[in-house]
Chains A and B, each alone.
Chain A
């Protein structure tokens, strides 16, 4: 899913290298960042933090799950279903690559030398 550069010599194209289309959406990127800082988070915690509706958050999580970026575990607590999400190895790699590309892009856009 990572973008391929047509002209690797172009600084902008080089910056885009490693970016993932799935993570270009702010909410999906936020989900992955949150899950990268925690072992697991459940649906309602993610909903509270991201301030999303059930439907919207569910759709984003499904997309990430289908992509293999998050793993899902369902359980019952007090007879209520609880769904836990964790970042998979693939998701972690994609996130790292995406964030590195973002940092590169920002450096280039601001004319950075670091």
Chain B
């Protein structure tokens, strides 16, 4: 075998190995955690609209920290720790939280009515999920698309639209997590 051929083979082998070593999607428990939070948080828009802000103010950051801990534990369990990957996720989701926080004054000052602002939040979150699906972990792309479809659907559903959307997004998160687990991308915990 010529040196060039051997070098090319070695590089192809290394490339394949790096692809194989990608950690894939997050563990199912993180999907389940956010499915539960979304179900409660979205339904509250219909049933307890005045407490939605407080709920997400607490549940959002706590869910983020819990996800980081669960992701780290997953890394320990599979034997692969990458701070860089953790940071990528951290920056992405922190960016989402910051964008939402920065939009809150629009509601507080009365520039935008809260029911309208809720839909703007939904668009921001849908975009964040879609982009996470494109750049971080593929299954989230579909969750983002469900949210975008739900945003459109809210214009046509007269009552309990947010509750219905919460159920749909929760289901899409659970299904995405389960499909990924079956594919072997991530174990259950």
Q: Is the interface of B mostly helix, strand, loop or mixed?
A: helix
Q: How many residues of A contact B (CB 8 A)?
A: 25
Query: Contact check: which of A30, A40, A106, A109 meets B14 at CB < 8 Å?
Result: A30
CB-CB nearest in chain A for B86: A39
Q: Convert A33-51 into 0s and 1s, putting 1 for each residue whose CB lies closer than 8 angstroms to a CB of B.
A: 1100111111111100110
Please state if B7 and A109 are interface contacts (CB–CB under 8 Å). yes
Q: How many residues of B contact A (CB 8 A)?
A: 20
Judge if B17 is at the interface, Cβ distance under 8 Å: yes
CB-CB nearest in chain B for A40: B81
CB-CB nearest in chain A for B13: A26
Please state if B79 and A29 are interface contacts (CB–CB under 8 Å). no
B11: chain A residues at CB < 8 Å are 102, 106
A30: chain B residues at CB < 8 Å are 13-14, 17
Judge if A64 is at the interface, Cβ distance under 8 Å: no
A41-B79 contact in complex given A33-B18, A49-B21, A109-B4, C-beta closer than 8 Å: yes
Please state if A37 and B21 are interface contacts (CB–CB under 8 Å). yes
List 18 additional contacts besides A34-B21, A49-B20; criterion CB under 8 Å.
Answer: A26-B10, A26-B13, A30-B17, A37-B18, A37-B82, A38-B81, A39-B81, A39-B83, A40-B80, A43-B79, A44-B79, A45-B80, A49-B21, A77-B76, A84-B81, A102-B7, A102-B11, A106-B11
